[in-house]
Amino acid sequence: MRITILLTLLWVFTFSLTAQTVYNNTNFDDKVATVILQKDLAIYDPLPIIGLNEGDHLKLSFDILEPVNEFFNYSIVHCDRNWKLSDLQPMEYISGNTMGEITDFKFSTNTYQKYTHYNLNFPTSDMQITKSGNYALLVYRNFDETDLVLTRRFMVVDNQTSIESDIKTATLPEFRFTHQEVDFMVNYEGFDIPNPFLDVNVTILQNNSWNNAIYNLKPLFVNNNQLSFNYEDKNVFPGTNEFRFFDIRSLRFFSNNVIRKYTDSVQNAVLRPEETRAHLNYVRWLDYNGKREIINDDGANITEDGDYAMIHFNLKSNDLSDMGEVYVYGELTDWQLQDKFKLKYWPDYDMYSTSVLLKQSYYSYHFVLKDKEGNIDYSFTEGNHQETENDYTILIYHKNVFYGYDELIGANVRNSYTVKD
């Protein structure tokens, strides 16, 4: 009897910890590199969102930095609007198998850095998603869900709303020249929402980053099946600055912002020393909004012929350690402040630097400051400008009272200059 009680308590405790876990875009193995989860389209779109029952697919790709074939499984878990495990059981949101295998792999060819490349297209015909909302894709070894390799967020939307959005200069005087305001109206005609103030929550992303997302935004007004989110303070983002970039699509020839290339145990590319831009006026140029695009100009195949290179970042700056720590930041860091992208300050040269192994690609990025409270601050390294061109994603969540989960009933992507349908 005592053993049964202890096992029951252990199961309850384990379930409680799992339910409190916030699923993120995380690599659990240092040998995992270049993880990309995108729509299965010819045009690169890094926002992993598909329509419910619309036949859409996502494509996961990643490298293991060893020439070995490992056996990987995957499963999908349903999350609430804040990326914690929902109360749904797998059979309630999956039709078919609840676990799959990753069988598509290839070894790298003609590369200094040897690796194995893996691909997965999902959902498959024998693992269909039946509910909208937030999901986490879990990849692990040998049927063991505790031996996690990586997790990635994605979303399934059941479009029941229309969204009219407007990106404009911030209304409040203190933000007018440095921030952008995201105002929008949500029309839910034909969809029953008895209590919008209680059951509707909105998340807003800037440039696909979850790190500085606005969560759990409530309607300001409700009028004739329309929800107004025209706030002046709760829907404001720092404008930041246009993204820096470098081009290593070819490691044979010099390219934009690369000043030196050499080979030791791996290939190396030294980037042009950058300078802080906080004191400079805004200058507009076409950028990639922090994204990357894996392209290999030196070989015939993008995924297996693309080599890795040690990229040497350099930032001219005075010592900012009293304010915080400096990081490289963008899609190349999974929009997170990762230790390997933290720059070290060299006082004799008034220079920050770090070196990171990256795959051949076109990359865009920012230098950001992590302040003493752990927040991202652009004001010391990049500056904030209301004119900056940014992408914004608006996600509308509704609490399904009958099943007790957060369903995603609308999504809208808008550029601060042009609208994306």
Q: What is the mean pLDDT of residues 69-86?
A: 97
What pLDDT, in 10s, does the model give residues 309-355?
999 999 999 999 999 999 999 999 999 999 999 999 999 999 999 99
What pLDDT, in 10s, does the model give residues 118-166?
999 999 999 999 999 999 999 999 999 999 999 999 999 999 999 999 9
Whether 397 is in a domain gets the answer: yes
Q: What is the mean pLDDT of residues 100-109?
A: 96
Residue 114: burial class (beta carbons within 10 Å; 0-12, 13-18, 19+):
middle
Q: What is the mean pLDDT of residues 304-309?
A: 94
Reference 381, options 332, 291, 313, 288; nearest CA is 313
- How far is it, in rounded angstroms, from Cα 412 to Cα 193? 19
pLDDT of residue 79: 98
**133, 142 contact by CB (below 8 A):** no
Same domain assignment for residues 106 and 181? no
Instruction: Write down which residue in 99, 134, 157 finishes a domain.
Output: 157
Whether 9 is in a domain gets the answer: no
Residue that has been written with the tokens 């297996």 in this structure = 304
Whether 17 is in a domain gets the answer: no
What pLDDT, in 10s, does the model give residues 176-185?
999 999 999 9
Residue 115 reports pLDDT greater than 90: yes
Q: What is the mean pLDDT of residues 86-115?
A: 96
What pLDDT, in 10s, does the model give residues 180-229?
999 999 999 999 999 999 999 999 999 999 999 999 999 999 999 999 99
* Phi-psi category of residue 356: left, alpha or beta, with phi > 0 → left and psi -120 to 50 → alpha: beta
Residue 105: burial class (beta carbons within 10 Å; 0-12, 13-18, 19+):
middle
Same domain assignment for residues 210 and 327? no
Q: What is the mean pLDDT of residues 224-251?
A: 96
Instruction: Write down which residue in 103, 124, 157 finishes a domain.
Output: 157
- How far is it, in rounded angstroms, from Cα 316 to Cα 345? 10
pLDDT of residue 8: 41
pLDDT tier for residue 11 given thresholds of 50, 70 and 90: very low
Q: Beta strand pairing status for 148-157 and 49-51?
A: parallel
Same domain assignment for residues 177 and 110? no
Higher pLDDT: 294 or 114? It is 114
Same domain assignment for residues 46 and 135? yes
Same domain assignment for residues 176 and 209? yes
Same domain assignment for residues 27 and 153? yes
The range of the structural domain enclosing residue 344 comes to 244-377
Reference 188, options 224, 158, 215; nearest CA is 224
Whether 16 is in a domain gets the answer: no
**107, 116 contact by CB (below 8 A):** yes
Whether 420 is in a domain gets the answer: no
Same domain assignment for residues 35 and 116? yes
Whether 15 is in a domain gets the answer: no
pLDDT tier for residue 270 given thresholds of 50, 70 and 90: very high
pLDDT of residue 117: 97
Same domain assignment for residues 270 and 318? yes
How many domains are contained in the chain?
3
pLDDT of residue 296: 87
Which CATH number characterizes residue 81's domain? Answer: 2.60.40
Q: Give the number of other Cβ atoms within 10 Å of residue 90's Cβ.
A: 13
pLDDT of residue 7: 38
Same domain assignment for residues 371 and 405? no
Instruction: Write down which residue in 110, 130, 157 finishes a domain.
Output: 157
Same domain assignment for residues 223 and 115? no
Reference 310, options 374, 248, 389, 387; nearest CA is 248
Same domain assignment for residues 230 and 306? no
Adjacent-strand bridge partners of 64 = 32, 116
Q: Beta strand pairing status for 292-293 and 362-371?
A: antiparallel
* SS3 at position 179: strand
pLDDT tier for residue 418 given thresholds of 50, 70 and 90: low
Q: Whole-model pTM?
A: 0.93
Same domain assignment for residues 347 and 392? no
